[in-house]
Amino acid sequence: MYGGAAVLTAAALGAVLRDGLVDPRIALAFGVLVAVGELTRWGAPSGEREPAPLGAAGALAYALLGENAGQATHHGVLQTVAVVLVAGLAGAVPRGRTALPGLFALDHLVRRVLTVGFAAVCFQPLYNAGELRHHFGAGPGYALLLVLLLALTALCDAVLAALLVRARTRHPFGPLLRDELRALPHIGSAVCATGAVIALGVAVAGLWALPVFCVPLLLTQLSYRRYAAVRTTYRQTIASLARATEIAGYTRPGHARRVAELSCAVGRELGLSGPELTVLEYAALMHDIGQLSLVDPVPEGATALLPMAEQRRIALLGGAVVRQTGVPAAVATVVERQADPYREQPMSARIVRAVNAYDDLAGECASASGPLSALERLRLGTAYDYQPEVVESLARVLSRGGRTAARTG
């Protein structure tokens, strides 16, 4: 994909430098819109699927633009890609060090170039040849065609996003694609709808339609950013509460964070969805909070080494505490049931139990063979305590480099 984006970029820039801009006023207007949209990435959460929805909508509208105030446009595929690329880079420059770092910024640019190129290839040649106007006219059929093209483009973007994350993280492609597709009805639908409306509005009213039809998406984006900020603060509060066991000396430093990171990696490996991963992360962070109710701390906080009855008592105490914090009831359920036989547990509780035991056992074996010994002890407990699929999934995550993340504080 990186190679394809590079070839397309080189071809687009070369064509524009050779032939110049067609309809430069239109190119400038849409370029400014895309650049402003990229500027709105300021402060975007790093995990946001579409950090610049206004820029995405403007880019798609330019790719599907056939007329400006009733006059046909002829900018074509390569100019569309070139304008979107240059505008995207221009919008990224003023943010300097606040831009999304490294591969995240490169992935965003690759997605934008390939997605816009796909939309333009589907639309521009047919429109310039008169085929679309001949078959669909200028009425509802034409608007429906734009919506269908945008839906195909959204599917293409979801596949690209999943492939890019897969290349960077080596997580399974299927669950990643499923999460991207589940996100489409949210901000993705707003981007597609705004792109279609802008293209239709400019075709009738000219470039004055740009600011008018961008306002709703901009307001939606600002509201979503506020929600994302609240969600981030909520997660930070849970992480701080989870550290109470470390501060009080009940668990080893970094234990809750390591369990949460490994649990989420195993959850992705097993195909858990985004909401399920959120519940898993919160439960993993708070899985040891029941130890705060103990008079005598467990040595090193290693609950996996305790008798089963004591593990269940601590789990129930933890669930009772979690229910008082206001987090979703599903999180408390996972905490309460983490010590049950795995056949009676929900999947998230199975993951937390296995990963917590791994971290406890690996910490007990403070040697180079500690992680391997811990995995072998988990495998020996797969008849009753740990689900075999979870243990093997954990082994695959560790083999890909998860061991370093799990053992470093």
pLDDT computed for residue 100 by the predictor? 44
Domain total for the chain? 2
- pLDDT at residue 372 in the model: 82
Q: Which amino acid is at 35?
A: A
* DSSP letter, residue 245: H
Contacts of 169 (CB under 8 A, 6+ apart): none
Quickly tell me which residue has 């595929």 as its tokens: 77
Give 72-110 as a DSSP string: EP--HHHHHHHHHHHHHHHHHGGGGGGSPPHHHHHHHHH
Residue 236 belongs to some domain of the structure: no
Instruction: Specify the 3-state DSSP secondary structure of 64.
Output: coil
Residues 209 and 263 in one domain: no
Residue 237 falls within a domain, yes or no? no
146, 282: one domain = no
Whether 238 is covered by a domain: the verdict is no
The answer to whether residues 227 and 333 belong to one domain is no
3-state secondary structure of 27: helix
Say if residue 175 is in the same domain as residue 295: no
Are 118 and 253 part of one and the same domain?
A: no
- Same structural domain, 392 and 316: yes
| Count of CA atoms in the C-beta half-sphere (13 A) of 273 | 8
Question: 372-406: b or e for each residue (b if 16 or more CB lie within 10 Å)?
Answer: eebbebbeebbeebbbebbbbbbbebbeeebbeeb
- For 384, phi then psi, to 5°, come to -140, -45
Report the predicted TM-score, pTM, of the whole model to 2 decimal places: 0.72
Report d(CA 83, CA 382) in Å as an integer. Answer: 57
Residue 384 sits in a domain whose CATH number is 1.10.3210.10
Domain termination residue (choose one: 192, 211, 231): 231
Task: Select from 231, 259, 276 the last residue of a domain.
Answer: 231
With residue 71 as reference, give the H or E element that holds it. Answer: strand 71-72
CB 197 within 8 A of CB 186: no
- Averaged over successive runs of 10 residues, the pLDDT of the chain (409 residues) comes to 88 92 92 87 57 85 89 90 91 55 68 92 85 69 84 90 82 80 80 87 88 83 77 82 82 88 90 86 90 78 81 88 84 90 89 91 62 85 87 88 45
The residue among 231, 256, 271 that closes a domain is 231
Answer yes or no: is 397 within a domain: yes
Q: Give the Cα separation of 145 and 316 in Å (integer).
A: 56
Range of the domain at 130: 2-231
Confidence at residue 74, expressed as pLDDT on a 0 to 100 scale: 87
State the pLDDT at residue 49.
Answer: 60
Q: Are residues 211 and 323 in the same domain?
A: no
